[in-house]
Structure 1
């Protein structure tokens, strides 16, 4: 399992930003399709199956675009651009947290706190990568 320090996470921010901007139209279209397909009117549409196929194809495109990040050890928490990087703050395992639109990784949260538990990074030196964990 890979653990990141703040500098390592920040080096990925430009690539993350470009990727999430690239997939944004697909994600928005999937959201529209899910809403349409979830209504009684949508279920009655003659092209219902075609809409489901479009949704599934777009979801697969999104998965393929984000797969590289999963392989690097990042955790994608939302296709709209929410990413966690495993890190250690002293001996405590935590997540460094970034979301699309932020210029850098500037927050962290506990393993079970989630986005609502985000706290600002006061000192980047508190977070060290651990390659042997």
Structure 2
């Protein structure tokens, strides 16, 4: 396993133009899967009995696409903390402590950090 990557605020912000389109596709694909699962709810029992059915094939392709997007995001060294909220953390050092820089999909840039054990609720402005 490789060493974790540590980011400065500038490095994390420089990565956002690459991450935003990937996260956008990921959120869209996840929403489609959610809608598809809700619409198929009563059909899923019957579909599982017919493993080769088109519904399972389509959902499998969606899940594969989601995993590929997640892997791509993670390959940059950041941490996808919350898929539903579009939340990404970046390991960093602040005042001699290891912290997470914290960015949410709808934010224009990285503006917050939190302690490793604090989570989203513990975010502080940079």
> Do both share a fold (TM > 0.5)?
yes
In structure 1, C-alpha distance between the alignment counterparts of 2:20 and 2:78, rounded to whole Å:
14
Cα distance between partner residues in 1 of 2:109 and 2:65 = 26
Contact 1:17 1:101 in 2 (8 A): no
TM (norm. structure 2) is: 0.79
- In the alignment, the residues of structure 1 paired with residue 38 and residue 97 of structure 2 have an alpha-carbon distance, to the nearest angstrom, of 40
- DSSP-derived class of the 1:47 partner: helix
Q: Structure 2 regions of 5+ residues with no counterpart?
A: none
Q: Which structure 1 residue ranges, 5 or more long, are not aligned? A: 122-133
* Partner residue in 1 for 2:92: 87
Would you say how many aligned residue pairs link Structure 1 and Structure 2?
118
Moved over 6 A (4+): none
Higher relative contact order (CA 8 A, sep 6+): 1
Task: State the TM-score, normalizing by the size of structure 1.
Answer: 0.75
Q: Secondary structure at the match of 2:5?
A: coil
Report the RMSD for the aligned CA atoms in angstroms: 2.1
